[in-house]
Amino acid sequence: MTDTLAAPASTASTNGKIPVTVLTGYLGAGKTTLLNRILTEDHGKRYAVIVNEFGEIGIDNDLVVGADEDVFEMNNGCVCCTVRGDLIRVVAGLMKRQRPGKPAFDAIIVETTGLADPGPVAQTFFVDEDVKAKTQLDSVTTLVDAKHVMARLDDSREAREQVAFADRIILNKVDLATPEELDAVEARLRALNPLAPIVRAERSNVPLDQVLGLHAFDLDRILEVRPDFVNPPHGADSHVHDEACGHDHDHGHDHDHDHDHDHGHDHHDHDHSHGARGHAHQDDIKGISLSLDRPLDGAKFTAWLDRLLGEQGQNILRAKGIIDVQGENRRLVFQAVHMILEGDLQREWGVAERRWSRAVFIGRDLDEAELKAGFEGCAA
């Protein structure tokens, strides 16, 4: 988790409480793109951003604009196990930064990992007394990738949860879908969440007043779907374990929610391996982090990545990386969602910055040894 402070000051807080916006959406939907828009737009406000990422190499931190300013890293915990504890600590830390009589920032934005159920994140703002006293959940905004969301709604419970939980849905990447496809997607989203307004966007270009300061989080609505949303007792359905529980996580609690009747959601029915490398979430989804302290050959790397995405793009839900290319002073940043690849030479490496190549691949049936060998084979 990373915390970034950006831009100058003043938004109305709610009853003196700092408004919190939770940004969610499946892997690659456009959350960071939206965040970067928020952080760079000339709005005269100061936002604290908390990024929780999947995969243990801090790539997302680096892709958020201005992240160098004020970053602290936290365990990349699995969102359903540890994030709430982390979040409480980060928010508490942010609160301490307030200057007397003047908040240090106008709002908090939390970007969840693409594999997260936003429920436990939103719960944080209701169940921890300190956090509750100082913050107010403004809205949960869910980004949706117009091209890939249908498949994800079929195969991912988290994707459905994210839509069901939204106060506002941003149907992003409209450039990648036909008007008919967009209508079909909207109908599907509507069925999962009849109330949240759906805003269409390209490159997450929604006006900020469509995302921030909405006063849209509707506790009553959430309580209808998750009656024990607020402070669920230990041992009860939806109880979210954190370090305050003071016990080993038992694996026998179901989430009694989900609008689409995909019930029996035991959030520990993912394969929870918190091993050093692959952090498996859903049974078969894992994240593979690769890194190399030597520069890569740009042509070899591009050819390898193209071939990999061509052959295994169906299984690669998300890939991204920052590459040190031989003979190039700028960092090569690449991003992929399935077979759609974008790459860019971005800013120069800093003088004191560690120059290395790192990449994360998140997907199904990925062969770690093969990926590692392919990646390292691109060394210059």
Ligand X SMILES: Nc1nc2c(ncn2[C@@H]2O[C@H](COP(=O)(O)OP(=O)(O)OP(=O)(O)O)[C@@H](O)[C@H]2O)c(=O)[nH]1
Contacts with ligand X by CB under 6 A lie at: 25, 27-33, 60, 114, 143, 172-173, 175-176, 202-204, 318, 335, 337, 342
Q: How far apart are CA 68 and CA 217, in angstroms?
A: 31
Number of residues that make up the chain:
380
Looking at the Cβ atoms of 35 and 91, the one nearer to ligand X is 35
Nearer to ligand X, 131 or 359 (CB): 359
**Cβ contact 87:17 at 8 Å:** no
Query: Using alpha carbons only, how large is the chain's radius of gyration in Å?
Result: 20
State the sign of the Cα–Cα–Cα–Cα dihedral 75, 79, 84, 90.
positive
| CA distances to 92, 286, 305 from 311, in Å | 46, 18, 10
Q: How far is the CB of 337 from ligand X (least distance, A)?
A: 5
User: Least distance (Å) from ligand X to the CB of residue 192?
Assistant: 19
| Helix or strand holding residue 346 (H, E) | strand 340-348
Shortest separation between residue 202's beta carbon and ligand X, angstroms: 4
Alpha-carbon span 330 to 314, nearest angstrom: 30
Which amino acid, 174?
A: V
Residue with smaller CB distance to ligand X, 10 or 40: 40
Residues near 276 by beta carbon (within 8 Å), at least 6 away in sequence: 56
Using an 8 Å Cβ cutoff, are 359 and 319 in contact? Answer: yes
Q: In what order do the strands lie in the sheet with 107-111?
A: 2-6, 47-51, 107-111, 18-25, 135-145, 168-172, 198-200
Beta carbon of residue 344, minimum distance to ligand X (angstroms, whole number): 9
Residue nearest to ligand X (CB): 114
For the CB of residue 294, give the shortest distance to ligand X in the complex, in Å.
Answer: 26
By beta-carbon proximity to ligand X, the closer residue of 25 and 103 is 25
Instruction: Residue 39: name the closest of 208, 193, 184, 188 by CA.
Output: 208
| Smallest separation, CB 138 to ligand X (Å) | 20
**What is the torsional sign of CA 258, 263, 267, 271?**
negative
Q: Which CB sits closer to ligand X, 226 or 286?
A: 286
Smallest gap from residue 38 Cβ to ligand X (A): 12
Minimum separation from the CB atom of position 315 to ligand X (A): 16
Name which of 48 and 177 has its Cβ closer to ligand X.
Answer: 177
Residue entry with tokens 């009553």: 220
Q: Which is nearer to ligand X, 18 or 159 (CB)?
A: 159
Q: Which residue lies nearer to ligand X by CB, 203 or 300? A: 203
Whose Cβ is closer to ligand X: residue 120's or residue 232's? 120
The DSSP string of 154-178 is HH-HHHHHHHHH-SEEEEE-GGGS-
Minimum separation from the CB atom of position 237 to ligand X (A)? 28
Q: How far apart are CA 46 and CA 68, in angstroms?
A: 16
